[in-house]
Amino acid sequence: MKVRELTGDMGLTKQEMQETHVIVATPEKWDVVTRKTDGMMSQVNVLIIDEIHLLNDQRGLVLECLVARALNVGIKL
């Protein structure tokens, strides 16, 4: 099983993402990737969101967008 990190400091190519079973990412980086990479969200089976209490914070808008995008394609939360 391949696990990779996707943060502001660490990037992944499209091929690396497709070969990875678990991606640990910041909400901001995952937001950018899923907006710019066609079909990326449809390849996700489960999305686990930590720090959900940040919904009432500046970063909350990004989390809301991720949840909405995930629900739109039928991902389990």
Res 74: pLDDT: 84
Helix 60-72 to helix 27-36 angle (10° resolution) is 40
- For residue range 21-45, list pLDDT tens digits in order: 999 999 899 888 888 877 777 788 8
Res 58: pLDDT: 83
Tokens coding 48: 């686990």
Please name the residue that has the structure tokens 């190519």.
13
Q: How much is the pTM?
A: 0.77
Tokens coding 69: 């995008």
Taking the CB of residue 9, how many other CB atoms lie within 10 A of it?
Answer: 8
The overall average pLDDT reported for the chain is: 86
User: What string of DSSP letters covers 48-61?
Assistant: ----GGGGGSTTHH
For the chain, what are the domain ranges?
Answer: 3-72
Per-residue pLDDT averaged across 8-21, rounded?
88
